[in-house]
Amino acid sequence: METKIKVIMLTNLTETEQKVFQLIWYKKYGISRTEIVNKTKLSKATVSRAVDKLISNGFVVEGDAVPTTSKGRPQKLLVLRNDEILISGISIHSRFLHFVIGDLTGRLRYSENIPVDKNNVVSTIMDFPKYLEKNYNSLYKNIKVFSIVTPGQVDQTNMKVTGNFFSVEKDVYFSGLEDCWNILFKVENDVNALLSSQIMFGHLKYKNIFLIDSEFGGALVIDGKMVRGLNGGAGEFGHTQLIHDGPLCWCGKKGCVSNYFGADNLKSIFHSTIPASYMALFGRDFSVMLSELYNEKFSKEFCILYEKQLDLLADAIVDFLDLLCIDNLMLNTENPFFKDRSFEYISEKMRKTSGLKDKLKVMPLKIRKGIEIPLAISLTKFLGENIEI
């Protein structure tokens, strides 16, 4: 009878163990110890210790032997073990919590949207262990990591979220979850989480990349490491000052990108170039309408004015990229100004004006459902965040 491997995962893996595990994770059909040594340049003894730790903790098992003509004991392929280890997490949205359970490969096992009132998001999350134990009892004991993906600035040292939409409190702390649920936790900003999921499941192979999201939030990877800054607010492109005499933003500055491209300011810019009835559109719908009119080449006057706004946006992005010498840019096409004809125009504009010139690669991000995002964040607790290429 096969002996079950005891799963013990209440502490993080070391950086070396993460590096070895990451290789095994990406090589889904298996990898030998010798190949790990060759790829990591670690010693045989170091790799052996790391592999033994991964096996004893239930992450990895030894599979089939590698065919060889050489003498000596044949090596066995190392593959992921998925039958006893589950990861889980939630993404916070305005009207619901998107809850997922998956395995070590990132494969989704269960998914559920849980309706939630804006005023009780925090209390619902703090009671989540009880909810899982009641509704997913057979799986609850096998969940080893739980992640919270949230809007706002995230200080990961104390699980603090600042600048969120779901609490009247300036700061929200999720550290209390650790007192009632003895597993690993991770809290991550939603845009950082989106980029992490693209790196892990989309297999982006860029050591330096900047993502601008649908609401002009930003995520930044430099030298293979997610950059968060002192309080988790690094890469927040939406509060880059576009023009000095623009509309006042809630952050205190004038002319921030997200505020400048808000519906109220755009209405004041375009009111003389579009029919009066269009002005009745609110919020994001107004921006979508402008983008669609540009796709249709509505009028020469409108297109000239629209491209002037895209020029401002392109210049701000280029300044950011040139300052940090980042040559890979990903734009979320859920943002109307990064979609269809707008994407083509702004991409060409940036390539012409950037100091990086032809080295600048501009990529569209097309999200399917984003269901794997919390799973990506949970996996980084084991795999680490450094991108190994």
pLDDT in tens, 196-223: 998 888 777 788 999 999 989 999 999 8
Q: How far apart (Å, rounded) are the C-alpha atoms in residues 200 and 185?
A: 19
**pLDDT at residue 8, rounded to an integer:** 47
Q: What is the mean pLDDT of residues 218-229?
A: 89
> What angle (nearest 5°) sits at the alpha carbon of residue 21, between those of residues 18 and 27?
140
Helix (H, G, I), strand (E, B) or coil at 52: helix
Residue 370 has pLDDT above 50, yes or no: yes
Query: Which pLDDT band holds residue 314 (cuts at 50, 70, 90)?
Result: very high
Question: What distance in Å separates the CA atoms of residue 228 and residue 112, rounded to the nearest whole number?
Answer: 29
pLDDT band at 368 (very low <50, low <70, confident <90, very high): low
What order do you get walking across the sheet with 160-162 strand by strand? 153-155, 160-162, 171-173
pLDDT, residue 6, reads 47
What's the CA gap between 147 and 163, in Å, rounded?
19
pLDDT (tens digit, 9 = 90+) per residue, 267-305? 999 999 999 999 999 888 999 999 999 999 999 999 999
For the chain, percent of residues with pLDDT exceeding 70: 94
φ/ψ of 78, rounded to 5, equals -95, 125
Per residue in 91-105, pLDDT (tens digit) is 998 889 999 999 988
Task: Evaluate whether 290 touches 271 at the Cβ level (below 8 Å).
Answer: no
Task: Report the pLDDT averaged over residues 6-27.
Answer: 78
pTM: 0.88
Average pLDDT of every residue of the chain: 88
Amino acid at 93: H
The pLDDT, as a whole number, for residue 383 is 87
- Whether the pLDDT of residue 113 is over 70: the answer is yes
pLDDT digits (tens, 9 = 90+) for 144-169: 899 999 998 898 888 999 888 888 88
pLDDT for the residue numbered 120: 87
Single out the residue of 207, 238, 200 nearest to residue 224, CA to CA.
207
pLDDT band at 11 (very low <50, low <70, confident <90, very high): low
- 248 close to 254: Cβ distance less than 8 angstroms: yes
pLDDT value at residue 2:
42
Residues facing residue 332 across a β-bridge: 365
